[in-house]
Amino acid sequence: MNNRHRTRGSRGIGLLIASIGILFLLDQFQIIRIGSIMRTWWPLILVVIGATKLNAGERSAGLVMLLVGGAFLLANLDFIAWGNIFSLWPVLLILIGLSIAFDYRPRFGMSGRELTEDDFSIKAFFGGAERRITSQQLRGGEVVCLFGGVELDLRDASPAAECDIRLSVVFGGIEARIPTGWQIIVTGTPILGGLDDQTRQDGKGPVVSIHCSVMFGGIELRN
């Protein structure tokens, strides 16, 4: 994602927050009654954020936010019944799965952002991140992904005597590139998700523990 997309996305979210502040200010002076407006039109917040993320190239998160916000808005305007929304919740899972499968593509030709810390922390909420770990005494790290995607490149890192990496996904995806010289011990049980270990190991390198937590998403480990 380039700087132009980041700036555009931040500007859209900033303007949305400023607009909400203006509405509350007008309510304080009793020019409008924001309570009735918010009860009906609050899903527009999700719609605007979703549109902003689509415009910034974050199609997976943008699609989900647009779908959820649009459904709640239609229900508030009595175009559809609330019961119909909740009965169609599997459609949300279908769209998320298809979006991850066909939109989330490996782009490891890009260097991404380099992290040199011996203990790294990466969080992606309703967005995406690409990180390349280059620590030569890597003790461990954590990746938390919620409604987004993370590409983690560990091929230039060297683990310390004990190295523990934790990958957590809820409605999203993580792809981690592991050096062939590592011996990895993968633990974790997916809940309505997938854990795919495609790594090849020669059985001679350092031992690294990778604990995976997956719910409505996927984690892929490969060399």
Look up residue 193 and give its DSSP letter.
S
Q: Give the per-residue pLDDT at 133.
A: 94
Tell me the pLDDT tens digit for each residue of 194-222.
888 888 877 678 899 999 988 777 899 99
Q: Which residue has the higher pLDDT, 82 or 21?
A: 21
Q: Give the per-residue pLDDT at 72.
A: 79
**Mean pLDDT lowest among 6-15, 173-182, 200-209:** 6-15
Rounded-to-integer distance, Cα 65 and Cα 63, Å: 6
Q: Give the per-residue pLDDT at 170.
A: 80
Q: Is 113 helix (H, G, I), strand (E, B) or coil?
A: strand
Beta bridge pairs of residue 133: 115
Q: Give the per-residue pLDDT at 106.
A: 39
Tell me the pLDDT tens digit for each residue of 95-121.
666 655 554 443 433 345 888 899 998
